[in-house]
Amino acid sequence: MKSKPLSIFSYPQAIIHIDGDAFFASCEQSRNAALKGKPVITGKERGIASSMSYEAKNRGVTRGMRISEIKKVCPDAIFLPSDYETYSLLSKRFFQIVRRYTPDVEEYSIDECFADITGLRRPLRMSYEKIAEKIKADLDHELGFTFSVGLGPNKTLAKLGSKWKKPSGLTAIPGYLIHEFLAAKDTEEIWGIGPQTSAHLKKEGIGTALEFARKEQAWMQRKFTKPTQEIWQELNGKFVLPLDTKGKTTYASVQKVKTFAPPSSDRDFIFSQLSKNIENACLKIRRYNLAACKATFFIKLQSFRYVGVQVKFSRPTAIPSEIVKIAEQHFDEMFDKHEQYRATGVTLFKLEEDVIKQLDLFNEVLKAKQLKKLYQSVDQINEKFGKHTVFLATSFMARNRPQHLKERSDQPERKKLTFKGEGKQQKIGIPMFVGIVD
């Protein structure tokens, strides 16, 4: 009988990738037992499918499909408004469970992560495969829905493994079996290889991931840039892409977009929505002590066409009242009272560290210093009493009118029901569960 290679050769680095199956819809099924086994779709407030349970996927529902189209293929579909607060809380639990086994966790997105378990076989007295199996079992049991897990010698192969048997799969790709897995996959199925790169590879006569992995290094360096070369190295079993365990520490740009329904031609309401976007974007960049040098303001028509303007600030700023004033000066360049609009948005970019500079002749920097201090107090109030306790008057209409009306106006259960001591703005970090919990 042929023995397996030692783990040190199969997994010189042992990386797992964990992916929540139909995460948003699964969160809803977990918190309400009556929804289990049914075609659940989130995104009702947007009028499209943001996430769908596997029961809905099996009926032909795909992401981005409109509710009217979904009803044709799945008449018994259950549509729910997105409850991002609960999804975020369950995501934090997800990562906390993984960190019981290893501190080296990269929170890749709200529903997936990478974890480095290299060297933990002896302390945990389990093989790498068993560790991955145990983490999956804990997640499935404690969160009430399934996860797909991949184990490999690097991030690229671990991600390939997590996609291998969805939902609720666990696939290990040891070094000595890499070629078998790559032979069964097209290049476009590999994480990091987009449609354009895949189309280029096909023109070169390369269809499978294995054919790509077997190309010579000199050819790779001649044909592709560093990111694609790194994927090629990982497909050959090397550990090239490190885990980002510190998370995001800065941003090159920040964008905030909000859709509302029904569409509107009310100038004051639409500008108020834009003001709200600006406040939210500024809140985020202040959190990272950043200031924006430029911005793009845009509004989305009912025809799904975008109209926008780009502006450059006289100095870097993270003060929403200043940016809103600039947006107001340019708003009529975008707005047409004869059109219907369905969304507004802002992108703050060319971000740099928000530092106080020397005083200038007209005391503009002194004013900026005072405003920065004012918003430090605003942030402290909002942190203590709840997000958006204090906001600009220009955002009042957007914040005090439902984002969606009529059939799309349903609120998530977490917003309708509160625990003792909670208010409209401030909530404790516990998801609301309904139905029977084992």
**Which amino acid, one-letter code, is at 298?**
F
Nearest CA-CA partner of 39 in 76, 65, 82:
76
**Contact by Cβ (8 Å): 310, 294:** yes
- Distance (Å, rounded) from C-alpha 60 to C-alpha 428? 37
Distances (CA, A) of 233 to 36, 228, 245: 42, 9, 22
**Which amino acid, one-letter code, is at 107?**
E
**Contact by Cβ (8 Å): 341, 265:** yes
From the candidates 112, 129, 230, 279, give the one annotated as an active-site residue. Answer: 112
Burial code (b: 16+ CB inside 10 Å, e: under 16) for 319-330 equals: bbbbbbebbeee
What is the four-CA torsion angle of 184, 190, 196, 201, rounded to 10 degrees?
A: -50
Nearest CA-CA partner of 263 in 298, 306, 297, 302:
302
Distances (CA, A) of 365 to 126, 326, 369, 377, 405: 60, 17, 6, 19, 43
**Contact by Cβ (8 Å): 187, 206:** yes
Distances (CA, A) of 46 to 157, 185, 254: 35, 35, 22
Task: Please indicate whether residue 407 is annotated as part of the active site.
Answer: no
**Contact by Cβ (8 Å): 61, 73:** yes
Supply angle C-alpha 185, 186, 189, rounded to 5.
85
Supply angle C-alpha 116, 170, 188, rounded to 5.
85
Q: In what order do the strands lie in the sheet with 147-152?
A: 105-109, 112-116, 15-20, 147-152, 170-172
| Residues 6 or more apart in contact with residue 430 via CB below 8 angstroms | 89, 419
| Residues 6 or more apart in contact with residue 433 via CB below 8 angstroms | 31, 32
- Enumerate the active-site residues: 112
